[in-house]
Chain A
Amino acid sequence: MGLRKPPCYDAHADAGARFTEFGGWDMPVEYDSIKAEHAAVRESVGIFDVSHMSEIEVSGPDATALMQRLTTNDVTALDPGDSQYSAIVNDEGVIIDDTVVYRLPDRDDRVYLFIPNAGHDEEMYDRWTSFRDEWDLDATVEDVTEEWAMFAVQGPDALETVSAAAPDASLGDLSKFQATFADVAGVECWVARTGYTGEDGFEVLCPWDDATSVWSSLDATPCGLGSRDTLRMEMGYLLSGQDFDPEDEPRTPYEAGIGFVVKLDTEFVGRDALEHQKEEGVDEKFVGFKLLDRGVPRHGYDIATQDGETIGVVTSGTMSPTLSEPIGLGYVPVEYADSGTAIRILVRGRQKRAKIVTPPFIDR
């Protein structure tokens, strides 16, 4: 099966992008330099094509009930134009995916749009429709992944950049996690003050067929998935399929450090398992670390005690472009999870000294 392509694929190729496969999509990983793209986002503004992210729309009289029972956060807290970070967990409380849930303006009933990770659209569509049918709920579920392109404009100058393309909108009035429909380059887009970099910024969902004109109206340094990854690692943000994965790295929201999205006073699949874990406490915790010796931690490297006993695995790691220091993320037993705890990382068979650091690694 061929890879799926974002609507601006040709524009990226013309701009000199290199591409990589991610979640079944052929996406820009780097235009010129990951370091330079990373710095643009931290210091001015960058733009990412994240059209590989999935979009599922849920509407109808029971839309709220269906969303509430399949996500861990409380969707009834959302007014139109609000959004929330949330988790989708199985019966055991293990994270299947993390997502942002937007409440769109009401039509006859409440309407939600949620953003599963790349390549998860079919799985989530199936999950939503099969539970809807099992619970006999009246809700319409649509996979609109290839109706919406999505661009992330991120960095201290993001407000200026998006406002320049959307002169009629008052985007500065949006708080973090608020969203609105606005004309961008004359195209009606869903503009949200959300992101995955730790900087101020917006995510712009625009109709697939208008993607190229919206993309070219947003004047920012084009950035690929390479810098998206280094930016999120500096913040300690989770990457689906890597920092948690129902098959390879089964973790609950409490283990993964996102217990704040679990609202136990709501009813949802996996709630009882999570309530039990909250009472018992977790055995292992998601932590950050800095390497004190030279080297670069990578996904899959072992984490060990000072005595060399293996206690965990690195789930993400890189050389931090902002700090020029090697940083990583992973899970360790709670007794090793305190900031400052000395650990070792096994880099190609050699023990390197490291210490636990609670993310974010940079001040934000």
Chain B
Amino acid sequence: MFEIPDDRKYLESHEWTTTDGDTVRVGISDFAQDELGDVVFVELPAEGDEVAAGDEFGVVESIKAVSDLYAPVSGTVVAVNEELFDAPELVNDDPYGDGWMLELEPSDTDEFEALLSPEEYREQTE
């Protein structure tokens, strides 16, 4: 059984996102990290880059697979988790915590509400 915390929203492409009202944080789900297996490389945008909801913003690679990362909302990148460059295994070890990838300042807060609820995401993974 995969962990799907209730305190965040999800994408069909297995990213999660949380918000504190000002910024949103993005990572990949427990299900996604398990499917990928040992993560060995993460490519992320730079601070200040603009991303649009649904667009690819980076890549996560395991030994056996390459997977694109999709932005849950549109906005400006305000932080990237640089620890993943030296320790990509954090994505496996703690996908909802230390394995976070990106923080965005959203340009449209309504986009966040349109994402999948934990229940909807759970149905998708079953």
Residues of chain B in range 53-76 having any CB-CB distance to chain A below 8 Å? 59, 61-64, 66
Determine whether the beta carbon of B41 is less than 8 Å from that of A35: no
B38 x A35 contact (CB < 8 A): yes
Q: A249 CA to B49 CA in the complex, in Å? A: 40
Q: Roughly how many angstroms separate A66 CA and B85 CA in the complex, as a whole number?
A: 55
Question: How many angstroms between the C-alpha atoms of A34 and B65 in the bound complex?
Answer: 12
* A294 partner residues in chain B, CB cutoff 8 A: 41, 43, 85
Q: How far is the CA of A253 from the CA of B40 in the complex (A)?
A: 33
Q: Which residue among B43, B62, B63 has the maximum number of chain A CB atoms within 10 Å of its CB?
A: B63
A298 at the interface (CB under 8 A from B): yes
Across the interface, B40 reaches (CB within 8 A) one of A29, A30, A296, A348, namely A296
Chain A residues near B62 (CB-CB < 8 A)? 34
A23 on the interface (CB 8 Å rule)?
Answer: no
Residues A321 and B63 in contact in the complex (CB < 8 Å), given A294-B85, A296-B41: yes
How many interface residues does A have (CB within 8 Å)?
A: 16
Bound form: Cα–Cα A217–B64 in Å: 29
Chain B residue at minimal CB-CB distance from A295:
B41
Q: Which residues of B contact A230 (CB under 8 A)?
A: 63
What's the Cα separation between A30 and B63 when bound, in Å? Answer: 11
Q: Write the chain A residue with the least CB distance to B92.
A: A33
Q: With A30-B64, A296-B61 known to touch, is A319 a contact of B40 (CB < 8 Å)? A: yes
A318 in the interface (beta carbon within 8 A): yes
Assuming the contacts A33-B37, A34-B38, A226-B37, asked whether A318 and B85 have C-beta atoms less than 8 A apart, the reply is no
Docked complex: A1-36 residues within 8 A CB-CB of B:
29-30, 33-35
Interface range for B: 10 to 19
Smallest Cβ distance from B33 to chain A, in angstroms?
11
B66, A298: Cβ atoms under 8 Å? yes
Q: Report the nearest A residue to B41, measured CB to CB.
A: A296
- Residues 322-362 of A at the B interface (beta carbon under 8 Å): 326, 348
B66: chain A residues at CB < 8 Å are 296, 298
| B22 → A minimal CB distance (Å) | 30
Q: Is the CB of A33 within 8 A of B64?
A: no
Are A30 and B61 neighbours in the complex by a CB distance under 8 Å?
no
**Cα distance A73–B41 in the bound complex, in angstroms:** 41
User: When chains A and B are docked, how far (Å) is the Cα of A35 from the Cα of B40?
Assistant: 10
Contact residues in A for B61 (Cβ distance below 8 Å) = 296, 319
A33 touches B38 (CB 8 A): yes
Contact B59–A226 (Cβ < 8 Å)? no
Q: A30-B37, A319-B40 are in contact. Are A226 and B64 (CB under 8 A)?
A: yes
Cβ-closest chain A residue relative to B89:
A35
0/1 per residue, A283-301, Cβ < 8 Å to B?
Answer: 0000000000011101000
- What residues on B are CB-neighbors of A34 within 8 Å? 37-38, 62-64
In contact, A318 and B41 (Cβ under 8 angstroms): no
In the assembled complex, the CB of A197 is this many whole angstroms from the nearest CB of chain B, namely 15
CB distance from B113 to the nearest CB of A (A): 33
- Asked if A29 contacts B41 (CB within 8 A), the reply is no
A sample of 21 inter-chain contacts (CB < 8 A) reads A29-B64, A30-B64, A33-B38, A34-B38, A34-B62, A34-B63, A34-B64, A35-B63, A226-B37, A226-B63, A294-B41, A294-B85, A295-B41, A296-B41, A296-B66, A318-B63, A319-B40, A319-B61, A319-B63, A321-B38, A348-B59
Interface residues of B (CB under 8 A from A): 37-38, 40-41, 43, 59, 61-64, 66, 85
Closest 5 CB pairs of A and B: A319-B40, A35-B38, A34-B63, A296-B61, A296-B41
